[in-house]
Amino acid sequence: MASEKIRVLFFAKSRELCGCREHDFDAEFPISVKTLIETRVLKEFPQLSELLPSCNIAVNEEYIESANLELHPGDSVAITHEPISVETCVQQVSDDGAGAISTFIGTTRNTFDGKGVVELRYEAYESMARKEMAVIAERVLSKWPAVKHVTLWHRLGTVPVGQASVVIAVSSAHRADAIAACAFAIDDLKAHVPIWKMEVYEDGSSWKQNSESVETLARPFA
């Protein structure tokens, strides 16, 4: 059996626990994701054991449905930092054939469970996030033929209280389709796009688990 490298990428809380953004593991092929995690990753980073059941696993920027998926040499296991202009998003979807434009704007609120929130900090698996957001746009256009255009923006880095972290705009011939498509897009984004949020409080901080993602995606290690 050949021994080569598999690169594993870590994000958000897993990055903090491991103390690194990526790590190369020696592996003899063939090897499955499950075997890699159990015999290499957890051996090197045992502190991940409690977090793993709530983790989503991706290979080459695509979520996996089974931990028995075989890996290959060179595989990797695994969008703007500026303020988002809502006006620009609306302009991007404007169309003379549209009778409605629906927007969703997600902003940083100043409290959570009685705690004062100072800011939110977002990080992402950026190349995969872009692909997933493009897929969402394709789903919208396929599901609602009357939709003219759709745009999805997500800000990364620090987002102060009152500023937008995500903006979605959908134009359609009819308002019902625009509203439904916009709601679908934000729900799909929350469930599938690899973006993590840290809430920074007046007295500490915490990575927030995405409940939509936990309920929607496969849990091969649960």
174 is in an annotated binding site: yes
Global pTM value: 0.81
For the chain, list residues with pLDDT below 50.
Answer: 213-222
Would you state the pLDDT for residue 214?
Answer: 42
86-216 and 3-77 share a CATH fold: no
CATH code for the part of the protein at 3-77 = 3.10.20.30
The counts of H helices and E strands in the chain are 7, 15
Residue ranges covered by each domain of the chain: 3-77, 86-216
Would you state the pLDDT for residue 96?
Answer: 96
Would you state the pLDDT for residue 215?
Answer: 42
Would you state the pLDDT for residue 211?
Answer: 55
Would you state the pLDDT for residue 64?
Answer: 87
Would you state the pLDDT for residue 72?
Answer: 73
21 is in an annotated binding site: no
Tokens at 192, concatenated = 């599938």
CATH code for the part of the protein at 86-216 = 3.90.1170.40
44 is in an annotated binding site: no
131 is in an annotated binding site: no
198 is in an annotated binding site: yes
Residue closest to 120 by CA, chosen among 206, 15, 211: 206
